[in-house]
């Protein structure tokens, strides 16, 4: 493809400015580190948007030129305006790719796309997470070994109340005794969605090279084959074959 | 199971009272015919609810004692109150079974459960529909032959913008040249959902013995294995295995 | 259903007679303990079959009256005659339910049904296995809590080279750092298959009450809705609708 | 990708030499027309292999340098040597892509990969087939409209006894009253498989531009992300985390 993908990274950008420990790890925000990682993986057109911008930085205009959106949120899910959520949701159904990161599992957007409560069990004790590749043939797993490790992460444990993923890529093992479906692919409308678990704000997860590699793979996988600006409506159609009229 | 299933049939009940042609076919409403059919199939506890009742007949109390809900709507989707939709949605995630009939595909409830636009192509020319059994082993297909026919039905054609069903049971052939995924099973939270296509209000579809048989099979399949009144929340958990504390 | 399910338990029955440590745990064979467990769960018609019997105890006659077959094998996969495998495979496609236990993942039968190599990583260090319920609504998970534990088991680790299961019920956490898809449901032809991981011969796993409970749930879930003794063939059919003949 | 994909087209090449009507349509064989079509779609490295060649033209050497294999067979399924089938099967599990065409559904290879009987209903009356796109976002559907038509084709009707496809792309409508899952995607091991229904030998289907387009899309989709010449074996692994030894 000659035209570069337009990637927009959305971050609520709250912890980094209100929790000094997080601010120290991500002084310019999680979105800045994600953007750097994608640029290093060859994505030329990467922009960011945050909660405090007008329309959360996600105007119709911005969405219309976005091919792939990344979403990180946690503390401020409820502050995301419903009409912006509806706009992003509609755009995913048109074909915009979506990568949902970590606590984005509980965003209005992901709950709306999955139709479920998206609840998890969790623990913030900074334990070891080992992420196993279940589907080695999948493009999102390209370049990975059997597993990769994060020395300190928040635990998310099953049951993860989501629809059975269309494709399951990763399973996490946690030191404290839990497991989690950490890489889940969905198709909704013409849009592809990749949920990727790691990325708690108090750990430097998004600096991890393997994590950046997986996110880059994810962006490529969700990138639209086609974007249909005229999404389907309930549409009346004439018969193609001859039929008799009802009596 | 000794305790009978409590089945509630919801119908917007508008066409039957406003369109004489429909009223002639279903003088007491589509819900009444559906209820009769289920009673003939051995369901002992069947009640009905309609749009014009207080809370559309779907108070928390009614839902709490409902094991399986059937849903028929068409003209008045937008008149269904959002808080009732939210209540039914939450109850499905708790484990209440749901059978969505015909134009219920475009209800607020089904769109909320699927996360998609649920659009179809359609034509109201009263043509022949032949419904093929794709998954003969499935309990919903029990007792059916290779296919069954409805002499006059509304056409619904692909693409049907829904998530890929967890199980696909039926495919429809239409005289005018289209096909449709007419029997789709989903699991959302602890609830099972069966979408069954036929049932346009201007045709006597719900008097059809095979259609009644399939709906009875569907009610049995979506019936909850367990109903969890305390649905999962994001829950903090202590480690099961010993782990070191974060530095 | 008034007629009791006919359950046949197949076991290679080699370790128990050749390894004293195993013989001490299962003096009458793994099959005997599995049979006792099912009888305690209300199954009235349970018989067993082993490798050394004529036709491995799986004559056409035996299979014809078997509704659900359990399969445990490990050391002697290659000694199972190809024609018996073909016969069992055909019977599964007709609708006979199949529960594949532990190292049965590498049997000729399971490889033939899945079309894959069915390889795993493994370790026989007797470590703790914690089995998490991923799909709490599923009949196979009925009556279980969030997880159950086996104090000592063999480890099986991902990747498990099987087709993506039609339904994923359990995920295992192992003390040594691995995860595994331990409860996998498949439909093949008219037959249902449940693969359940635990059951290494050197540990008393099949005496465990929860394991017995899951196997009983599994037998009920794979039990056939219909058994078709005349399985589908490539069949020539006349047109249902009028068509012109080819020129 | 700079390195061109190596595509091998396998054809039993019997009808074309033994049935004059077929020989007139495909004088150099179906494989020659398929090869021309792929070359016109930009595939630079396309070779063919047929039943009568030594080892059916599918030596280990040929397979080792094949990225994607196409398979057309019908009359001579039983003449394909079992060891060649085993070799191709193993190569698919390693990651070689496979496109199975039309009556290849009943080949030893496809039955071995699916684990099922792969039966269909059929009729050779040269009727109209209309192929509907069910999953417009999928790469295999790229560039297609809502449906495409073949004026004369053999009918294949449901039930198609295969595992539920991992992704369902096309549904066929037939003039005579049947439907069929005509575009089915599977992953087996590290290999991707695309089954595409059309292509009866007595009709000029493989000259059709849309059919050629879909096959080209299919070849791209099954093309391996990675090819693993050392496929997984049951492998003993040391623990990653410290565990106690069994008593």
pLDDT digits (tens, 9 = 90+) for B16-73: 999 999 999 999 999 999 999 999 999 999 999 999 999 999 999 999 999 999 999 9
What does the alpha-carbon distance between residue A30 and residue A198 come to, in Å, rounded to a whole number?
A: 13
φ, ψ dihedrals at B243, nearest 5°: -130, 155
B230 touches chain C (CB under 8 A): no
What does the alpha-carbon distance between residue A185 and residue A196 come to, in Å, rounded to a whole number?
A: 9
Mean pLDDT value of segment A97-125? 97
What is the DSSP code (8-state) at residue A177?
S
B123 touches chain D (CB under 8 A): no
Residue B159 has pLDDT above 70, yes or no: yes
* Inter-residue long-range contacts of D52-56, CB under 8 Å, 24+ positions, other chains counted: D52/D13, D55/D81, D55/D84, D56/D10, D56/D80, D56/D81, D56/D84
Residue D209 has pLDDT above 90, yes or no: yes
What is the DSSP code (8-state) at residue C112?
H
Q: Write out chain B residues lying below 8 Å of A239, CB-based.
A: 123, 125, 127, 155, 175-177
pLDDT recorded at residue A243: 86
φ, ψ dihedrals at C30, nearest 5°: -55, -40
What does the alpha-carbon distance between residue C211 and residue C150 come to, in Å, rounded to a whole number?
A: 9
Largest alpha-carbon pair distance within chain A?
75
What is the DSSP code (8-state) at residue A117?
-
Return the number of other C-beta atoms located less than 10 Å from residue B80's C-beta: 20
Judged by average pLDDT, the poorest of A115-124, C51-60, C232-241 is C232-241
Helix/strand/coil percent split, chain A, to 5 = 30, 30, 40
D104: its two tokens: 């290849």
Taking the CA of residue A89 and the nearest CA in chain B, the distance in Å comes to 9
D30: its two tokens: 């179906």
What does the alpha-carbon distance between residue D58 and residue D79 come to, in Å, rounded to a whole number?
A: 14
What does the alpha-carbon distance between residue D13 and residue C93 come to, in Å, rounded to a whole number?
A: 31
> Which residues share a beta bridge with D172?
D131, D180
Judged by average pLDDT, the poorest of A72-81, B231-240, C84-93, D60-69 is B231-240
A21 touches chain D (CB under 8 A): no
ipTM over 0.90: yes
Whole-angstrom CA distances from D50 to D10, D56, D105 are 6, 5, 17
H or E element in which residue D235 lies: strand D235-236
Would you call D117 and C232 a contact, using CB atoms and an 8 Å cutoff?
A: yes
Do residues A166 and A217 lie in contact, with contact meaning Cβ atoms separated by under 8 Å? Answer: no
D219: its two tokens: 């070849």
pLDDT recorded at residue D2: 59
Which of C 167-186 lie inside 8 A of A, CB atoms? 167-168, 171-174, 177-179, 181
pLDDT recorded at residue A245: 59
What does the alpha-carbon distance between residue A145 and residue A130 come to, in Å, rounded to a whole number?
A: 12
Q: Examine residue D159 and say whether the peptide bond preceding it is cis (omega within 30 degrees of 0).
A: yes
Judged by average pLDDT, the poorest of B225-234, C10-19, C186-195, D70-79 is B225-234
Taking the CA of residue A133 and the nearest CA in chain C, the distance in Å comes to 7
Residue D245 has pLDDT above 70, yes or no: no
D148 touches chain C (CB under 8 A): no
Q: How do beta strands B45-50 and B179-188 pair?
A: unpaired
Judged by average pLDDT, the poorest of A18-27, A163-172, A182-191, A234-243 is A234-243
Residue C226 has pLDDT above 80, yes or no: no
Angle of CA points B80, B83, B89, to nearest 5°: 90
H or E element in which residue D98 lies: strand D97-101
Would you call C171 and A171 a contact, using CB atoms and an 8 Å cutoff?
A: yes
Quote the mean pLDDT of chain A. 95
Taking the CA of residue B178 and the nearest CA in chain D, the distance in Å comes to 7
Burial of D45 (0-12, 13-18, 19+ CB in 10 A): middle
pTM of the predicted model over 0.90: yes
Residue B142 has pLDDT above 90, yes or no: yes
* pLDDT, tens digit, 9 for 90 and up, residues D145-171: 999 999 999 999 999 999 999 999 999
Quote the mean pLDDT of chain B. 95
Return the number of other C-beta atoms located less than 10 Å from residue A245's C-beta: 7
Tell me which chain A residue has its CA closest to the CA of residue D94. Answer: A137
Residue C47 has pLDDT above 80, yes or no: yes
φ, ψ dihedrals at D61, nearest 5°: -60, -45
pLDDT recorded at residue B1: 45
Residue D25 has pLDDT above 50, yes or no: yes
Helix/strand/coil percent split, chain D, to 5 = 30, 30, 40
Residue B228 has pLDDT above 80, yes or no: no
Taking the CA of residue C28 and the nearest CA in chain A, the distance in Å comes to 35
What is the DSSP code (8-state) at residue C57?
G
Angle of CA points D64, D69, D72, to nearest 5°: 140
What does the alpha-carbon distance between residue A45 and residue B237 come to, in Å, rounded to a whole number?
A: 41
Residue C46 has pLDDT above 70, yes or no: yes
Taking the CA of residue D16 and the nearest CA in chain A, the distance in Å comes to 33
D189 touches chain A (CB under 8 A): yes
For chain B, the chains sharing at least 3 beta-carbon pairs closer than 8 angstroms are A, C, D
For an interface test with C, give the residue of A128, A157, A158, A172 to mutate (most C CBs within 10 A): A158
pLDDT band at C228 (very low <50, low <70, confident <90, very high): confident
How far from each other are the two terminal CA atoms of chain C, in whole angstroms?
54
Mean pLDDT value of segment C199-207? 98
Nearest to C51 by CA among C35, C26, C34, C29: C29
Do residues C185 and C137 lie in contact, with contact meaning Cβ atoms separated by under 8 Å? Answer: no
* pLDDT, tens digit, 9 for 90 and up, residues C164-183: 999 999 999 999 999 999 99
E runs forming strands in C158-224:
167-174, 179-188, 191-196
Q: Write out chain C residues lying below 8 Å of B130, CB-based.
A: 240
D42 touches chain B (CB under 8 A): no
Q: Examine residue C159 and say whether the peptide bond preceding it is cis (omega within 30 degrees of 0).
A: yes
Mean pLDDT value of segment B86-92? 98
SS (H, E, C) chain B: CCCCCEEEEEECCCHHHHCHHHHHHCCCCHHHHHHHHHHHCCCCEEEEEECCCHHHHCCHHHHHCCCEEEEECCCCHHHCCHHHHHHHHHHHHHCCEEEEEHHHHHCHHHHHHHCCCCCCEEEEEEEEEEEEECCCCCHHHCCCCCEEEEEEEEEEECCCCCCCCCEEEEEEEECCCCEEEEEEEEEECCEEEEEECCCCCCCCHHHCHHHHHHHHHHHHHHCCCCCCCCCCCCEECCCCCCCCCCC
Taking the CA of residue B130 and the nearest CA in chain C, the distance in Å comes to 10
What does the alpha-carbon distance between residue D97 and residue A42 come to, in Å, rounded to a whole number?
A: 27
pLDDT band at C93 (very low <50, low <70, confident <90, very high): very high
E runs forming strands in chain C:
6-11, 45-50, 68-72, 97-101, 121-133, 147-157, 167-174, 179-188, 191-196, 235-236
Nearest to A194 by CA among A115, A98, A129, A63: A98
pLDDT band at B245 (very low <50, low <70, confident <90, very high): low
D164 touches chain B (CB under 8 A): yes
Q: What is the CA radius of gyration of chain C?
A: 19
pLDDT recorded at residue C37: 98
Would you call C241 and B187 a contact, using CB atoms and an 8 Å cutoff?
A: no
C151 touches chain D (CB under 8 A): no
D23: its two tokens: 């020989």
Beta carbons within 8 Å of D86's beta carbon, 6+ residues apart: none
Mean pLDDT value of segment C206-215? 98
Would you call A137 and D240 a contact, using CB atoms and an 8 Å cutoff?
A: no
User: Among residues of chain A, what percentage have pLDDT more than 90?
Assistant: 92
pLDDT recorded at residue D227: 76
D192 touches chain A (CB under 8 A): yes
Beta carbons within 8 Å of B8's beta carbon, 6+ residues apart: B46, B47, B48, B49, B58, B62, B63, B66, B68, B69, B70
pLDDT recorded at residue C1: 45
Beta carbons within 8 Å of D31's beta carbon, 6+ residues apart: D9, D10, D11, D13, D48, D49, D50, D72
**3-class secondary structure, D15:** helix
Whole-angstrom CA distances from A153 to A131, A198, D241 are 11, 7, 17
φ, ψ dihedrals at B105, nearest 5°: -55, -25
Residue A241 has pLDDT above 50, yes or no: yes
């Amino acid at each position: 493809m000659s035209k570069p993908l337009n990637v927009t990274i959305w971050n609520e950008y709250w912890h980094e400015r209100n929790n000094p420990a997080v601010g120290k790890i991500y002084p310019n925000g999680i979105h800045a580190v994600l953007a750097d990682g994608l640029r290093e993986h060859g994505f030329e057109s990467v922009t960011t948007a945050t909660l405090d911008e007008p329309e959360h930085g996600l105007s119709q205009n911005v969405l219309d030129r976005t091919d792939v959106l990344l979403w990180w949120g946690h503390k401020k899910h409820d502050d995301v305006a419903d009409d912006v959520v509806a706009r992003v949701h509609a755009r995913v159904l048109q074909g915009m790719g979506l990568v949902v990161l970590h606590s984005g599992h509980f965003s209005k957007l992901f709950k709306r796309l999955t139709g479920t409560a998206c609840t998890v069990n969790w623990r913030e004790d900074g334990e070891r997470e080992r992420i196993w590749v279940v589907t080695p043939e999948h493009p999102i797993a390209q370049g990975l070994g059997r597993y990769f490790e994060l020395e300190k992460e928040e635990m998310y444990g099953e049951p993860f109340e989501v629809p059975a993923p269309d494709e399951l890529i990763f399973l996490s093992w946690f030191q404290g005794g839990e497991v989690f479906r950490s890489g889940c692919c969905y198709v909704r409308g013409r849009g592809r969605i990749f949920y990727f678990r790691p990325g708690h704000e108090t750990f430097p997860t998004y600096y991890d090279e393997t994590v950046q590699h997986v996110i880059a793979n994810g962006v490529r996988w969700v990138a639209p084959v086609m974007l249909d600006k005229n999404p389907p409506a309930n549409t009346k159609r004439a018969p193609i074959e001859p039929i008799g009229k009802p009596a």
